[in-house]
């Protein structure tokens, strides 16, 4: 039996360029997993193995790897930082027990770190904080600690203090042991000496050490009582308190260093082992019914319990489809038959592998607490549960945001169509935030995603990985439609043409629904004028029409339909007749209900040097942005605004021009809001032209 207390399933997440992938490389080197370091800026990092990642120097998909430190097994996932790929962070956090939040010593808490931190809070993942790049100009450990408190509303528990700053950064002082770890300039992680605290830091070390102990002992009443009586707690007691507080999310042990220069990594790895939870110490995953409601049962982390495993990532490579799974309870082994509760189908487990980025090692079995990959599963998607066919159960599924941007693509040559279809099928399985649909009238393929970069990379993958040359259209915004007025109306569907006829009459009220409610149907018919068995047909008829509005053909949101009365014919009425009546009623009444176009609005978070704040705000105002807040930091100003997506295309180019290449921004979908008339007119006109071209 494997000792689960020696397992740590951890993720490394942060803003773009804070040094996540470099940190992962250093951990792999330190633990002896790799022997030659690969650098991100040279396109050589182990976990950045896609061509697109190597060229752009960013992480696009999360990569999994396993290594060992002090007899503990660390399953590590390196996640992307760019906002278009937060889906990767979200689904990785879902299956992890702990994490390392990496922050840049000079950039501090940047926009994307905030989003990732929020995801980690939602998933209740214990974290340690690592402030990286302390050798950079402008780096300041204490400022980043303050930002963690103010911007993230988190409680950092400072465990080490830096020795020297910027290019003079030499090492760190471990507050608990009062020992200084000093590295030489060879860049080798093993070249360090442990000495006494530098004289000029003794007072600071005592002040911060006292803070550390005071915060830690709050986790144990008995230790706290002795401490208040003047007794210094033993190191084991302090460590036990820190571990408890970290797992309870009461505070986050905070470290610092320079991954690139290999300084400070050992203490971070020690903290992973000492303070982050093992799989048995986190809340067990709740099980749900078919509707996604919790059943009150839990997947207990125990190898002897029935199998419960979650597929959290699907990746296609030269050996075939790989399904990454986190085993929550029970065991999974080669040759076993498992049930996919979503599809209701059973599958036999073929090859199982332990991943190291894109290379693999064959394994025979895995058990509760493990993260592994299964080769060649047929009908599985991200978020599906695999379980014991004799003892089924479904784990809480993953929820993914809807795409907000789309582009039309077509293969350059005829032979490309089949290749495109196969490639897109694989890509949809890999990335749940990427959707594809075919325009029924024009036959065009529409790709939908989370942002311009997201779709840009998808087109690049199609070209390089699958060899499909594409003609790409302009990006399109996912507009929506709604109504603004209440309408009472009636519609009769009557068809007599010899033989049995069709008859259905409905009286109804269509009114605007609450924002975010979608389509709501109710019936207040009394006296059986429309028999109950026909109500679902009326509901279905209206619902089918919600997919295409009357203004520009976009889906309709937030409409409330109340069936109030009607009549039926004993012979000629049928469900079909009432469904047709409802469809025609929608076409008849929606134009009377003050239809309105809605546009997606994005939460935009811009970072700019102080000299360019006026330009950036002026530009956001021109883009119909609503400025929400401004926060001045040491290295620049963060501006938060709500801006319509249609105004944000190509924004990164403008921002870089305005700020001499120093500006950064991230954006995520916020809400839908009514379109101004002048914008709506243009969108509706374009929709009419498209329709005319198809006809």
Our CA dihedral for 90, 92, 96, 98, rounded to 10 degrees, sits at -70
Q: How far apart are alpha carbons 11 and 75 in whole angstroms?
A: 8
The rounded radius of gyration (Å) of the Cα atoms in the chain is 29
Q: With contact defined as beta carbons under 8 Å apart, do 603 and 564 qualify?
A: no
pLDDT-based confidence at residue 290 (cuts at 50, 70, 90): low
The pLDDT, as a whole number, for residue 1 is: 52
Q: Is the dihedral of CA 205, 208, 211, 217 positive or negative?
A: negative
Q: How far apart are alpha carbons 64 and 73 in whole angstroms?
A: 13
Average pLDDT over residues 603-614: 86
CB 362: neighbour CB atoms within 10 A? 10
The pLDDT, as a whole number, for residue 583 is: 93
Q: Pick from 321, 441, 452: which is nearest to 374 by CA?
A: 321
When mean pLDDT is compared across 8-22, 389-403, 548-562, 633-647, the lowest value belongs to: 8-22
When mean pLDDT is compared across 304-308, 356-360, 493-497, 638-642, the lowest value belongs to: 356-360
- Of 20-29, 397-406, 424-433, which has the strongest mean pLDDT? 424-433
Q: How far apart are alpha carbons 3 and 368 in whole angstroms?
A: 11
Q: Pick from 211, 283, 686: which is nearest to 479 by CA?
A: 686
What's the token pair of residue 191? 């070249």
Mean pLDDT of the chain: 81
The pLDDT, as a whole number, for residue 61 is: 44
pLDDT-based confidence at residue 563 (cuts at 50, 70, 90): very high
pLDDT-based confidence at residue 52 (cuts at 50, 70, 90): very low
Distances (CA, A) of 578 to 64, 240, 508, 539: 54, 67, 13, 9
pLDDT-based confidence at residue 80 (cuts at 50, 70, 90): low
Q: What is the CA angle 314-317-318, rounded to 5?
A: 150
What's the token pair of residue 417? 């169509």
What's the token pair of residue 523? 């019936």
Residue 489 has pLDDT above 80, yes or no: yes
Distances (CA, A) of 492 to 90, 546, 567: 49, 20, 9
Domains and CATH numbers, the chain: 4-281 (3.40.50.300), 285-395 (2.40.30.10), 405-478 (3.30.70.870), 485-593 (3.30.230.10), 599-678 (3.30.70.240)
pLDDT-based confidence at residue 43 (cuts at 50, 70, 90): very low
Q: Pick from 380, 354, 357, 384: which is nearest to 367 by CA?
A: 354
Residues whose CB is less than 8 angstroms from the CB of residue 352 and which lie 6 or more positions away in sequence, other chains included? 332, 333, 334, 362, 363, 364, 365, 366, 372, 373, 374, 375
Average pLDDT over residues 320-326: 79
8-state DSSP, 344: T
Average pLDDT over residues 97-109: 84
pLDDT-based confidence at residue 499 (cuts at 50, 70, 90): low
pLDDT-based confidence at residue 591 (cuts at 50, 70, 90): very high
Residue 578 has pLDDT above 90, yes or no: yes
Q: pLDDT, tens digit, for every residue of 187-238?
A: 777 788 889 988 888 899 999 999 999 999 999 888 889 888 888 888 899 9
Average pLDDT over residues 364-385: 82
pTM confidence score: 0.66
H-only helix segments in 571-669: 575-589, 613-622, 651-658
Percent of the chain with pLDDT over 70: 85
pLDDT top residue among 355 and 508? 508
* Type and span of the H or E element at 265: helix 265-275
pLDDT-based confidence at residue 59 (cuts at 50, 70, 90): very low
Q: With contact defined as beta carbons under 8 Å apart, do 187 and 160 qualify?
A: no
DSSP code string of 467-522: ---EEE---EE--EEEE-S-EEEEEEEEE-SSSS-EEEEEEEEEEEPPTT--EEEE
What's the token pair of residue 283? 């809340």
The pLDDT, as a whole number, for residue 48 is: 38
Q: Judging by beta carbons within 10 Å of its beta carbon (0-12, 13-18, 19+), is residue 446 exposed, middle or buried?
A: middle
Q: Residue for token digits 């809001």?
A: 673
Average pLDDT over residues 456-484: 83
Percent of the chain with pLDDT over 90: 19
The pLDDT, as a whole number, for residue 82 is: 46
């Amino acid at each position: 039996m494997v000792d689960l207390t020696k397992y740590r399933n951890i993720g490394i997440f942060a803003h773009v360029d804070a040094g996540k992938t470099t940190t992962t490389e250093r951990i792999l080197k330190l633990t002896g997993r790799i022997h030659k370091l690969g650098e991100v800026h040279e396109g050589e990092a182990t976990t950045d193995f896609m061509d697109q990642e190597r060229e752009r120097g960013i992480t696009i998909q999360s990569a999994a790897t396993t290594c060992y430190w002090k007899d503990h097994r660390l399953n590590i996932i390196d996640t992307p930082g760019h906002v278009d790929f937060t889906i990767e962070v979200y689904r990785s956090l879902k299956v992890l027990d702990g994490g390392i939040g990496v922050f840049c010593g000079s950039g501090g808490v940047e926009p994307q770190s905030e989003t990732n931190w929020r995801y980690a809070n939602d998933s209740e993942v214990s974290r340690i904080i690592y402030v990286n790049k302390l050798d950079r100009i402008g780096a300041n450990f204490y400022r980043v600690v303050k930002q963690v408190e103010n911007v993230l509303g988190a409680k950092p528990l400072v465990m080490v203090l830096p020795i020297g700053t910027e290019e003079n950064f030499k090492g760190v002082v471990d507050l608990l042991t009062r020992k200084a770890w000093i590295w030489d300039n060879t860049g080798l992680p093993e070249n360090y000496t442990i000495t006494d605290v530098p004289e000029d830091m003794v007072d600071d070390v005592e002040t911060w050490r006292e803070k550390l102990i005071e915060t830690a002992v709050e986790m144990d009443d008995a230790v706290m009582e002795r401490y208040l009586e003047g007794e210094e707690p033993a190191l084991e007691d302090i460590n036990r308190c820190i571990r408890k507080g970290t797992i309870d999310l009461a505070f986050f042990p905070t470290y610092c260093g320079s991954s690139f220069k290999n300084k400070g990594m050992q203490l971070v790895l020690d903290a992973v082992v000492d303070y982050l939870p093992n799989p048995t110490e986190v809340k067990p995953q709740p099980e749900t019914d078919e509707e996604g409601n919790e059943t009150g049962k839990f997947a207990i982390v125990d190898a002897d319990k029935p199998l419960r495993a979650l597929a959290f990532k699907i990746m296609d490579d030269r050996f075939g489809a790989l399904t990454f799974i986190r085993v929550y309870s029970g065991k999974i082994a080669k040759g076993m038959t498992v049930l996919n509760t979503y599809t209701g189908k059973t599958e036999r487990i073929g090859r199982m592998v332990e991943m190291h980025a894109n290379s693999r090692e064959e394994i025979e079995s895995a058990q509760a607490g493990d993260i592994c990959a299964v080769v060649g599963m047929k009908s599985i998607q991200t978020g599906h549960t695999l379980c014991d066919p004799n003892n089924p159960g479904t784990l809480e599924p993953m929820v993914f945001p809807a795409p907000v941007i789309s582009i039309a693509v077509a293969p350059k040559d005829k032979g490309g169509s089949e290749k495109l279809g196969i490639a897109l099928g694989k890509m949809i399985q890999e990335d749940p935030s990427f959707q594809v649909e075919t325009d029924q009238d024009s036959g065009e393929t529409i790709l939908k995603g989370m942002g311009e970069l997201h779709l840009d990379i998808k087109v690049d993958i199609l070209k390089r990985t699958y060899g499909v040359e594409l003609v790409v259209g302009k990006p399109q915004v996912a507009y929506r439609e709604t109504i603004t007025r209440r309408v009472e109306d009636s519609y009769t569907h009557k068809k007599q043409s010899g033989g049995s006829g069709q008859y259905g009459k409905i009286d109804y009220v269509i009114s605007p629904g609450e924002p975010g409610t979608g389509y709501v149907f109710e019936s207040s018919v009394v006296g059986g004028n429309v028999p109950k068995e026909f109500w679902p047909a009326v509901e279905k008829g209206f619902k089918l029409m919600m997919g295409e509005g009357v203004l520009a053909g976009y889906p309709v949101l937030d409409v409330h339909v109340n069936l109030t009365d009607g009549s039926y014919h004993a012979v000629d009425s049928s469900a079909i007749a009432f469904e047709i009546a409802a469809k025609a009623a929608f076409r008849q009444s929606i134009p009377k209900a003050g239809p309105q176009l809605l546009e997606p609005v994005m939460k935009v978070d811009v970072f700019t040097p102080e000299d360019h704040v006026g330009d950036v705000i002026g530009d956001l105002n021109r883009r119909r942005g609503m400025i929400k807040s401004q926060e001045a930091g040491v290295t620049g100003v963060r501006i938060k605004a709500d801006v319509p997506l249609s105004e944000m295309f190509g924004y990164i180019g403008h921002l870089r021009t305005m700020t001499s290449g120093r500006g950064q921004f991230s954006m995520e979908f916020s809400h839908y809001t009514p379109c101004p008339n002048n914008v709506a007119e243009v969108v509706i006109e374009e929709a009419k032209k498209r329709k005319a071209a198809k006809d």
